[in-house]
């Protein structure tokens, strides 16, 4: 393995970046965040009232983290992203270390004792997988920006290295029983590899393979159902494949989601008027918040929100393409791809197009640390946007 | 391609990923969402509503049916409905077993039925039993507070109150203070608050009211909290309107008691009676026995125990079931309006009225009956084979002479006869506010021949309904107005406000007031001295007409001859208050209207007229036979008492050896028949003496009176006392052999067996 770097570049890079941030991207983040918090409040207050006696419980916490997150985002937007380039390897090692640590010393969240997903001290807890997602993006960005500089026998090794790092993380997360996170990290790595120049033939084969898999699943549904073992993941797949005969409790959340979406119709019941959030939908503020949005804002409102995400991704890619720095470009695209993939997976789960994997909706789902991480990442994108605006 | 710079390549890869994410990825999201929200939206919306809305039906209280004096005959009392929530039970066998066992015990519902209902997952409200009385419902709600524990799928112990699975909602139950009174007039209320037969059917929509609904949005939690109030819609149950009947509980009871007695006495297949207010057409009483009589509170069971025993004796199961089912329909059917019968001689009232109205006869005109007459190409016998001799119209009515009415009736000719037949309402339903009314069975008018008129003019060869008959008789009695009979006088809303009043409706003037007056006089004589004499009641001037008709009944035993004995009357003759019709179907033994129907009528008329406070109009001869009130002789010496009492032509019988009267029976002020006896007690021991009631039946008035006086009891004569010479006693109010005090008053019923026949030739 042979690495090289431009020593003179390092001196030119100040820690603080100047220049104006991309107003379009900032605006779209703020819009998504505001809509997200309003909808989270609407979706959560009934559940909050029943479970904690305080209807503002989730709203207050989310709002606090949002404020902190905005501050973090603005700070981030001033920090030169090159710092991550330097920290790429340590970050990967630390995050893999945390993924191992969480299996040894899991923080048991009340009600979710079976999952080893959290690390925590006292009342503070976080998911190492959240850090892992960012770490893999940073790592891949760095490796890909060093394309043709890491070679074995003249062959570029950047893509295999990215894949290896990604699979290592995924392998560890298997023990967390965190299917959505595995899919997400794998998706991010695939996107990064495509950006890194993955062979078109392979891409085509991969896409066709995935499509073929889907077709096979539906054609051999009955056979698959017979051979699938019982277990948490398998149960979710079974309940997705076999909608009619699946036990009510297994499909409860998905069914309630469909009822909520169906109730919304084209125009929705109006903000705050969801009925399904009245203890029908378990934890409506979490992974299935999009169903409540569909119920209250209707198909039209939901499509508008989907389009907001599309604009966010588009704007991110515009920022990435404007920058001349490869690492920054990969980093920005990796971050918005992460948001995009997560959004797509979440909506497909909520509409029962794919099995329920337990994936949250960025900007909308309740979760303080996740929101802060997300806004921090948005700050990274904004920082790059300052860089590229400088260059003009 | 090879010419592309690495920057261009990078941009194209980025655009590919962008497209993959935004177009393929988010596009798939929109497609998936559109499918769920727009294509399948309706289906999911419905399921969501099923989940969210709890629809509880609150039964509307059915309106009350009051008699004319506002005594409730049928009313709805609060009751409860017990239901289960199969969705909550979710096919938990332990829960199903416990619930079915306990509810079966408490409610008496079959266990398997409950089990089946509990396992209908997907429903959350299945009725186990309605009309549950409050006391039982309270026991159920105690049970609902008990808890059940079981392990769920994950092995966690779950404890639930039974109220999580079972609910109680308000319901109503029909309550009858007198479950046998006017049963076929009232009808019954079946499942789901629907009335069957009678007023419950006819006025179902009025009585039903509007059931209320409570639609609440319940939440998905198990704490049975409902969603905020904005999701709750309450539609109040609207109590049905109430009916006030023209039927008077007392008059109805007099009628029904008399009919019950007649049913037993005559051994008939059925007996029916209708009492109508002469001026308005309002029905004061309507009842029957042998059919159209059942227990309102247990309408499904056969009420007539003798009939039930007979039916249960049928060996073949199929036949037995069928027979019981038929009898069930028979007991619900109101034969007063749904059956027809041949009126026989009662119809002569209308022939006479038509002839008078058309001036086709004078009152002086005479005809000599020889017992047989040839008319319209046929030969007709009179029921009196030796003939009635020479008679005018009045006499002919009194004798119910067939040849007279055949020859006179023919004067009307076919169109004239039919015109009156129709005018008296015999071709139409009367329009009474009861369901199931039928009309007459009459000739095809276009094909009628004169011989039809000949037979019809004395009431043969056609059939009418009892309600048609009484309405027509009523028209003759009230000055010629054919009225629409009715049974509901008022409708009240749930606050008791009158919302509808039935006004008497005159269909048409059939005959003139003058003809009506003439008929009233003649018909009074029929009762005073003619075939109706057994219906006489002193002071109440009963007018009426007897009828006896043959009913050739073809059955497995060949053709058997049965009779309809009927009697139509009104009183008082000069200004009628009530009109009444009695029809006895197939009486055993004596079968004439004058012999079996008229005596029943007299008893009812006396009760009803007294109840209505109709002032009696006694004739001089009636007054002479009237009772006097006993003078007070207690404390006086025996001889003194004797002279006081004999001044009133009262006999005296002394019991004991004392000098002074210490007690008397009947006591002072009580009535004593003229020539009756007052017992004077002179010693305390004598007072306790009793005697055995002698048999006073089968005697003439004098024989019975003497026998009673000799024994030391007082006799009250019931029946046509104007004609003592031909009367024979047939009934006594205290059975022979009963130990009674001296001086007790026994009512002995007399009837005449002479000159009351109007049998068909």
Does B417 lie in the same domain as B318?
no
Which chain B residues in 203-222 lie under 8 Å from chain A, judged by CB atoms?
217, 219-221
Report CB contact under 8 Å: A280, B231.
Answer: no
Q: Which one-letter DSSP state was computed for residue B298?
A: G
Crossing angle of helices A128-145 and A179-195, rounded to 10°:
10
Pairwise CB contact (< 8 Å): A294 & B37: yes
Residue B355 has pLDDT above 80, yes or no: yes
**Interchain CB distance below 8 Å, A348 and B29:** yes
At A2 the pLDDT is 44
- Please give the Cα distance from B476 to A203 (Å, whole number): 108
Shortest distance between the Cα of A278 and any Cα of chain B, in A, equals 5
Q: Which segments in chain A show pLDDT lower than 70?
A: 1-13, 109-114, 123, 228-234, 242-250, 388-392
Q: How far apart are CA B172 and CA B237, in angstroms?
A: 12
Query: Which two tokens mark B84?
Result: 């289960």
What integer pLDDT is reported at residue B72 of this predicted model? 93
Neighbours of B605 (CB within 10 A): 27
Query: Which residues of chain A neighbour B158 with C-beta distances below 8 Å?
Result: none
- Helical ranges in B536-659 per DSSP H: 598-611, 620-624, 638-646
> Cis omega before residue B666 (within 30°)?
yes
Residues 6+ apart with CB under 8 A from B746: B693, B696, B708, B713, B714, B715, B716, B732, B733, B734, B740
Q: Is position B49 within any domain?
A: no
Contact (CB<8Å) B17/A347: no
Is B4 part of a structural domain of the chain? no
Q: What is residue A354's predicted lDDT score, i.e. its pLDDT? A: 85
**B742 and B696 fall within a common domain:** yes
For residue A356, the model assigns a pLDDT of 82
> In sequence order, what are the beta bridge partners of B157?
B151
Computed over every residue of chain B, the mean pLDDT equals: 87
Element holding B518 (H helix, E strand): helix B513-528
B690 touches chain A (CB under 8 A): no
Is B48 within 8 Å of chain A by CB?
yes
Q: How far is CA A14 from the centre of its chain?
A: 30
Under 8 Å CB pairs connecting chains A and B tally to 149
Question: What band does B438 get if pLDDT is binned at 50, 70 and 90?
Answer: very high
- CA dist A145 and A133 (Å) reads 18
What tokens appear for B541 in the block? 């001037």
What three-state secondary structure class fits B398?
helix
User: Do both B233 and B364 map to the same domain?
Assistant: no
Q: Give the closest-approach CA distance of B223 to chain A in angstroms.
A: 10
Is B745 in contact with B714 (CB distance < 8 Å)? yes
Sort out which chain A residues have CB atoms less than 8 A from B16's CB and list them: 194
Q: How many domains does chain B have?
A: 4
Contacts of A317 in chain B (CB under 8 A): 14-15, 17-18
pLDDT number for residue B108:
87
Which residue intervals of B53-179 are DSSP H helices? 86-89, 93-107, 111-118, 134-144
Q: What is the pTM of this model?
A: 0.62
Mutate to test the interface with B, among A344, A359, A388 (most CBs of B within 10 A): A344
Task: Examine the pLDDT at B220 and tell me if it is beyond 70.
Answer: no
**Residues of chain B positioned with their CB less than 8 A from the CB of A355:** none
Put simply, the answer to whether B37 touches A276 (Cβ < 8 Å) is no
pLDDT at position B666 is 79
A192-211 pLDDT, tens digit per residue, is 999 988 888 888 888 889 88
- Angle between helical axes of A289-322 and A368-391 (0-180°, round to 10): 20
Percent of chain B's residues with pLDDT above 70: 94
Cα torsion angle, B331, B336, B342, B345, sign: positive
* Residue numbers of B between 64 and 93 with CB closer than 8 Å to A: 90
* Cβ–Cβ gap A343/B26 under 8 Å: yes
Say whether B168 sits in a helix, a strand or coil.
strand
Instruction: Select the more confidently predicted residue: B214 or A349.
Output: A349
Probe site for chain A from B11, B15, B25 (most A CB atoms < 10 A): B25
Higher pLDDT, B652 or B197: B197
Between B270 and A228, the higher pLDDT residue? B270
Does residue B501 sit in helix, strand or coil? strand
Give CA–CA dist B691/B678, Å, rounded: 15
Task: Note whether B678 and B664 are within 8 A (CB).
Answer: yes
Cβ atoms of B627 and B673 within 8 Å: the answer is yes
| HSE value, Cβ hemisphere, 13 Å, CA-based, for B302 | 20
Asked if residue B18 is part of any domain, the answer here is no
Chain B from 320 to 339: CB within 8 A of any A CB = none
Full residue range of the structural domain in which residue B393 is found = 338-617
Closest-CA distance of chain A to residue B98, Å: 23
Examine the domain organization and report whether B513 and B612 are in the same domain: yes
Q: Closest by alpha carbon to A81, among A339, A378, A371?
A: A378
Q: What is the mean pLDDT of residues B478-489?
A: 96
Burial label, A73 (beta-carbon count in 10 A; 0-12, 13-18, 19+)? buried
Task: Identify the closest residue of chain A to B122 by CA–CA distance.
Answer: A248
Predicted confidence at residue B233, as pLDDT, reads 66
- Tokens 């039970």: give the residue: B89
What chain B residue is nearest to A266 in terms of C-alpha separation? B38
Chain B CB contacts of A391 below 8 Å = none
B528 and B632: one domain?
A: no
Residue B592 lies in a domain: yes
B721 in the same domain as B657: yes
Chain B residues touching residue A263 (CB < 8 angstroms): 41, 44-45, 48-49
Q: Do the Cβ atoms of B608 and B254 come closer than 8 Å?
A: yes
Regarding whether B563 and B427 lie in a shared domain, the answer is yes
SS3 B340: coil
- Find, among B546, B548, B553, the residue nearest to B602 by Cα: B546
pLDDT tens digit string along B65-83?
A: 999 999 999 988 878 888 8
Locate the chain B residue with the closest alpha carbon to A282: B220
**Domain for residue B43, yes or no?**
no
**Structural domain includes residue B272:** no
pLDDT at B462 over 80: yes
CA B187 to chain CA mean position, Å: 8
Query: Would you list the DSSP string of B225-243?
Result: PBPPGGG-EEE--BPPPEE
Q: Do A280 and B219 touch (CB under 8 A)?
A: yes
> Where does residue A319 rank: exposed (0-12), middle (13-18), buried (19+ CB within 10 A)?
buried
Compute the residue count for chain A.
Answer: 392
Q: How many CB atoms lie within 10 A of CB B206?
A: 19
Is the domain of B486 the same as that of B601?
yes
Bridge partners (DSSP) listed for residue B170? B80
DSSP assignment letter at B64: P
The full set of domain ranges for chain A reads 16-391
ipTM of the complex: 0.90
Residues of B in contact with A191 (CB under 8 A): 17, 20-21
CB contact under 8 A, A313 and B153: no
The pLDDT assigned to B415 comes to 94
Helices and strands (DSSP H and E) totals, chain A: 14, 4
Is B751:B717 a contact under the CB 8 Å cutoff?
no
Decide if B36 and A317 are in contact by the 8 Å CB cutoff. Answer: no
Mean pLDDT along residues B372-394: 89
> Which residue in B532, B15, B517, B600 sits closest to B274, CA to CA?
B600
* Residue B659 belongs to domain with CATH number: 3.30.10.20
Measured between its terminal Cα atoms, the distance across chain A in Å is 36
Coil vs helix vs strand at A124: strand
Higher pLDDT, B741 or B278: B278
Q: Residue B383 — very low, low, confident or very high, per pLDDT cuts 50/70/90?
A: confident
B38 touches chain A (CB under 8 A): yes
Do B661 and B694 sit in the same domain of this protein?
A: yes
User: Contact at 8 Å (CB) between B392 and B404?
Assistant: no
Contact A28, A385 (CB under 8 A): no
Q: How far apart are CA A136 and CA A94, in angstroms?
A: 11
Cα B134 to Cα B168: distance, rounded to the nearest angstrom: 11
Greater model confidence, B550 or A307:
A307
- Kindly identify which residue of chain B lies nearest to residue A265, measuring between CA atoms: B37
* Residue A246 pLDDT: 57
Chain A residues whose CB is inside 8 A of the B14 CB are 195, 317, 320-321, 329, 333
Domain boundary among B308, B327, B346: B327
Cα–Cα distance between B404 and B386 in angstroms, integer? Answer: 14
Are B578 and B485 within 8 A, CB to CB? no
Q: Torsions phi, psi of B80, nearest 5?
A: -125, 155
B277-280 contacts at long range (C-beta below 8 A, 24 or more positions apart):
B277/B246, B277/B577, B277/B578, B277/B579, B278/B474, B278/B477, B278/B478, B278/B570, B278/B576, B278/B577, B278/B578, B278/B579, B279/B478, B279/B504, B279/B577, B280/B246, B280/B483, B280/B504
User: What's the pLDDT score for residue A8?
Assistant: 45
Interface residue of A204, A263, A293 to substitute, partner B, most B CBs within 10 Å: A263
* Residue of A262, A298, A309 lying closest to B26 (CB–CB): A309
Q: Which of residues A105 and B544 earns the better pLDDT score? A: B544
If asked whether residues B525 and B385 sit together in one domain, one would say yes
Which region holds residue B154: left if phi is over 0, alpha if psi is between -120 and 50, else beta?
alpha
**Residue at B25 is within a domain:** no
CA angle A162, A164, A168 (to 5 degrees): 120
CB within 8 Å: A261 and B221: no
Query: Distance between terminal CA atoms of chain B?
Result: 127
Contacts of A303 in chain B (CB under 8 A): 30, 33
Judgement on whether residues B71 and B154 belong to the same structural domain of the protein: yes
- Non-local (6+) Cβ contacts of A322 within 8 A are A385, A388, A389, A391
Residues in Cβ contact with B203 at an 8 Å cutoff, skipping those fewer than 6 apart: B63, B195, B243, B433, B488
Instruction: Name the β-bridge partners of B561.
Output: B552
Note whether A262 contacts B22, CB cutoff 8 Å.
no
- Statement to judge: residues B323 and B366 lie in one domain: no
Residue B629 pLDDT > 50: yes
Is residue B24, in this structure, part of any structural domain at all? no
> Which among B593, B627, B477, B483 is positioned nearest to B541, based on CA atoms?
B477
């Amino acid at each position: 393995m042979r690495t090289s770097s431009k020593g003179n570049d390092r001196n030119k890079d100040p820690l603080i970046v100047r220049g104006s941030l991309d107003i379009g991207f900032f605006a779209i983040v703020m819009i998504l965040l505001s809509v997200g918090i309003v909808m989270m409040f609407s979706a959560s207050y009934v559940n909050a009232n029943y479970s904690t006696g305080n209807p503002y419980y989730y709203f207050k916490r989310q709002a606090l983290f949002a404020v902190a997150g905005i501050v973090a985002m603005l700070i981030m937007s001033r920090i030169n992203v090159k710092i991550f380039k330097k920290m790429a390897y340590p970050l990967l090692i630390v995050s893999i270390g945390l993924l191992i640590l969480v299996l040894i010393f899991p923080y048991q969240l009340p009600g979710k004792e079976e999952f080893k997903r959290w690390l925590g001290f006292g009342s503070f807890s976080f998911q190492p997988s959240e850090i892992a997602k960012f770490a893999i993006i940073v790592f891949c960005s760095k490796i890909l920006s060093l394309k043709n500089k890491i070679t074995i026998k003249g062959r570029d090794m950047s893509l295999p290295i990215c894949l290896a790092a990604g699979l290592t993380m995924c392998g560890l997360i298997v023990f967390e029983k965190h299917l959505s996170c595995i899919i997400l990290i794998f998706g991010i790595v695939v996107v990064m590899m495509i950006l890194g120049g993955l062979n078109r033939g392979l891409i085509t084969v991969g896409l066709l393979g995935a499509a073929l898999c889907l077709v096979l699943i539906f054609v051999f549904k009955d056979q698959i159902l017979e051979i699938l073992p019982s277990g948490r993941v398998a149960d979710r797949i079974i309940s997705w494949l076999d909608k009619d005969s699946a036990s009510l409790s297994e499909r409860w959340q998905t069914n309630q989601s469909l009822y909520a979406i169906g109730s919304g119709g084209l125009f929705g019941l109006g903000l705050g008027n969801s009925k399904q959030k009245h203890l029908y939908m378990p934890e409506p503020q979490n992974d299935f918040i999009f169903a409540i949005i569909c119920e209250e804002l209707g198909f039209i409102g939901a499509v508008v929100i989907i389009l907001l995400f599309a604009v966010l991704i588009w704007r991110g890619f515009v920022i990435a393409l404007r920058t001349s720095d490869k690492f920054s470009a990969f980093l920005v695209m990796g971050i918005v791809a992460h948001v995009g993939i997560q959004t797509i997976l979440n909506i497909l789960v909520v509409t029962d197009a794919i099995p329920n994997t337990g994936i949250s909706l960025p900007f909308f789902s309740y979760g303080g640390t996740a929101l802060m991480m997300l806004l921090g990442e948005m700050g990274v994108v904004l920082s790059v946007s300052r860089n590229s605006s400088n260059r003009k | 391609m090879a010419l592309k710079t690495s920057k261009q390549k990078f941009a194209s890869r980025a655009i590919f990923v962008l497209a993959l994410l935004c177009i393929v990825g988010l596009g798939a999201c929109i497609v998936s969402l559109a499918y769920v929200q727009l294509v399948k939206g309706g289906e999911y919306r419905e399921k969501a509503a099923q989940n969210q809305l709890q629809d509880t039906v609150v039964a509307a209280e059915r309106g009350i049916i009051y008699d004319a004096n506002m005594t409730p005959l049928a009313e709805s009392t609060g009751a409860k409905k017990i239901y289960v929530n199969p969705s909550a039970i979710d096919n938990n066998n332990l829960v199903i077993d416990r619930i079915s066992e306990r509810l079966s015990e408490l409610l008496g519902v079959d266990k398997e039925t409950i089990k089946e209902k509990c396992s209908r997952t997907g429903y959350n409200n299945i009725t186990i039993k309605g009309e549950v009385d409050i006391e039982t419902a309270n026991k159920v709600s105690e049970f609902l507070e008990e808890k059940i524990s079981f392990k769920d799928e994950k092995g966690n112990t779950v404890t639930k109150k039974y109220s999580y699975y079972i609910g109680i909602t308000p319901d109503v139950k029909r309550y009858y203070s007198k479950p046998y009174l006017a049963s076929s007039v009232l009808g019954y209320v079946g499942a789901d608050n629907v009335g069957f037969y009678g007023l419950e059917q006819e006025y179902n929509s009025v009585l039903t009211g509007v059931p209320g609904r409570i639609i609440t949005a319940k939440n998905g939690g198990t704490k049975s909290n409902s969603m905020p109030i904005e999701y709750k819609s309450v539609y109040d149950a609207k109590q049905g309107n109430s009916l006030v009947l023209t039927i008077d509980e007392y008059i109805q009871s007099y009628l029904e008691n008399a009919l019950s007695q007649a049913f037993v006495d005559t051994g008939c297949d059925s007996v029916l009676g209708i009492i109508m207010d002469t001026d308005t057409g309002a029905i004061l009483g309507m009842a029957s026995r042998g059919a159209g009589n059942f227990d309102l509170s247990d309408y499904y069971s056969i009420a007539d125990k003798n009939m039930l025993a007979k039916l249960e004796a049928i060996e073949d199961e199929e036949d037995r079931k069928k027979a019981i089912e038929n009898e069930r329909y028979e007991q619900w059917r109101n034969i007063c309006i749904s059956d027809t019968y041949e009126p026989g001689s009662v119809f002569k009232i209308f022939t006479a009225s038509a002839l008078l109205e058309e001036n086709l006869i004078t009152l002086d005109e005479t005809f000599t009956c020889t017992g047989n007459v040839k008319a319209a190409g046929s030969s007709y016998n009179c029921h009196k084979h030796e003939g009635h001799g020479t008679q005018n119209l009045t006499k002919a009515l009194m004798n119910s002479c067939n040849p007279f009415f055949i020859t006179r009736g023919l004067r009307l000719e076919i169109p004239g006869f039919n015109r009156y037949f129709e005018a008296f309402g015999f071709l139409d339903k009367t329009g009474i506010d009861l369901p199931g009314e039928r009309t007459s069975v009459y000739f095809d008018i276009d094909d009628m021949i004169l011989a039809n008129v000949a037979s019809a003019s004395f009431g043969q060869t056609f059939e009418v309904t009892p309600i048609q008959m009484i309405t027509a008789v009523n028209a003759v009695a009230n000055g010629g107005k054919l009225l629409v009979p009715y049974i509901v006088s008022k409708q009240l809303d749930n606050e008791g406000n009158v919302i509808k009043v039935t006004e008497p409706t005159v269909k048409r003037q059939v005959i003139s007031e003058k003809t009506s007056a003439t008929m009233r006089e003649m018909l009074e004589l029929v009762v005073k001295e003619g075939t109706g004499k057994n219906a006489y009641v002193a002071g109440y001037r009963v007018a009426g007409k007897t009828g006896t008709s043959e009913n050739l009944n073809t059955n497995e035993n060949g053709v058997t001859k049965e009779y309809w004995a009927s009697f139509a009357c009104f009183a008082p003759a000069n200004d009628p208050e009530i009109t009444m019709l009695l029809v006895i179907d197939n009486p055993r033994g004596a079968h004439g209207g004058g012999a079996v129907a008229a005596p029943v009528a007299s008893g009812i008329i006396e009760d009803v007229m007294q109840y209505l406070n109709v002032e009696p109009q006694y004739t001089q001869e009636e007054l002479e036979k009237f009772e006097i009130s006993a003078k007070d002789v207690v404390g006086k010496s025996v001889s003194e008492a004797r002279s006081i009492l004999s001044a009133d032509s009262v006999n005296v019988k002394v019991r004991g050896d004392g000098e002074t009267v210490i007690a008397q029976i009947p006591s002072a002020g009580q009535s004593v028949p003229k020539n009756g006896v007052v017992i004077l007690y002179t010693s305390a021991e004598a007072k306790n003496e009793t005697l055995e009631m002698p048999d006073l039946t089968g005697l003439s008035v004098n024989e019975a009176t003497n026998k009673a006086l000799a024994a030391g009891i007082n006799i009250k004569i019931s029946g046509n006392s104007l004609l003592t010479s031909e009367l024979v006693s047939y009934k006594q109010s205290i059975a022979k052999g009963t130990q009674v005090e001296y001086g007790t008053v026994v009512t002995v019923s007399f009837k005449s067996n002479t000159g009351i026949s109007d049998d068909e030739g």
